[in-house]
Amino acid sequence: MNRPAASLYHDIPLPGITVRGNLFLAPLAGFTDPPFRSICLEQGASMCWSEMVSAEAAARGSEKTEALMRRAENEENLVIQIFLSHYSQALRALPVILSYRPALIDINCGCPVPKVVKTGAGSALMLRPDDMADIVKTLTEASPAAVSVKFRSGWDHDSISFLSFAQKAQEAGASLLTLHPRTRSQGYSGRADWSLTAQLVQNSDVPVIGSGDADSPERVKQMLEETGAHGVMIGRGAVGNPFIFEQSKLLLTGSSYTAPDAEMLLKTIIRHLDAAIADAGEKKACREMRKHVCAYTKGLPRSAALRHDLVHAETRQEYLEILQKSPVFANLDQFSLQ
């Protein structure tokens, strides 16, 4: 059986690459675009998953879908997560996917959203492990990239199938497994059952990444200690808080961490905004950044009023003027707002 290193923070070797560190940004639809991935990498993420990509749409040459596969400027190891229902879609999409030179192709077998599930993709593959294995085998044989699978504990409480599912994935050639220990029927409700992740680690010959409820550095450390997982995937806990990666690294390596001060928070928001503008243009970026900036500022003094103004910002200058009105940022030197 494959076992994690003695240190909680460590590298993970995969076919063709060695990942420096074991803290990962989860794929989040509408969030994990190149600008956000870039910020998370700056803040200590070891590797970042792309937004979920439709293999069928990629095969059909969708420009919108291809935009999801673009690499961030500081992204050494690109991870493209795909959803699909049949290996033939993988074969047709592969030339387009490989043109973006991913280090890892991840197969989504966990998305519970009905519009994905009804196509036979996402967590619907938990009911069809042989089809999942065919997809893995096809990708490992036809692609130089490593192949991983992200999946759930089962379809519902009456079909907890993650161990047999994982075994099929490994036999087909998967070199990394990520378990979100909730069933499809749970969605994102309730608590993730980390004891299932520990079971998978004990029964896996490839590295296992834990996922679910790792929303603070303390919870990241707790997951690694309780499960023996080789790494942790952080999703919603990173939105508005990309600092969680460096904070977790410090905690895992025996150091303490502090929350970002006002200047660091503001500079990160502006860097994120500027990266988004460079990536998509000011109009689209300012619209897309509203959800991120609201998350960054959650919990700040008078944050409700601040968020009310931020969701109407349409230009970079409007963002800066609104942020400067916050009592948290108002007394910072002007250079912080450039």
C-alpha to C-alpha distance for 269 and 299, rounded to whole angstroms: 15
C-alpha to C-alpha distance for 79 and 100, rounded to whole angstroms: 10
- Active-site choice (40, 111, 286, 294): 111
- Cβ count near 67 (within 10 Å): 14
Q: What is the 3-state secondary structure (H, E, C) of the chain?
A: CCCCCCCCCCCEEECCEEECCCEEECCCCCCCCHHHHHHHHHCCCCEEEEEEEEHHHHHCCCHHHHHCCCCCCCCCCCEEEEECCCHHHHHHHHHHHHCCCCCEEEEEECCCCHHHHCCCCHHHHHHCHHHHHHHHHHHHHHCCCEEEEEEEEECCCCCECHHHHHHHHHHHCCCEEEEEEEECCCCCCCCCCHHHHHHHHHCCCCCEEEECCCCCHHHHHHHHHHHCCCEEEECHHHCCCCCHHHHHHHHHCCCCCCCCCHHHHHHHHHHHHHHHHHHHCHHHHHHHHHHHHHHHCCCCCCHHHHHHHHCCCCCHHHHHHHHHHCCCCCCCCHHHHC
Nearest in space to 107 (alpha carbons), one of 62, 46, 61, 55: 55
The answer to whether 64 and 29 have CB atoms below 8 angstroms apart is: no
- Catalytic annotation on 111? yes
Residues forming the active site: 111
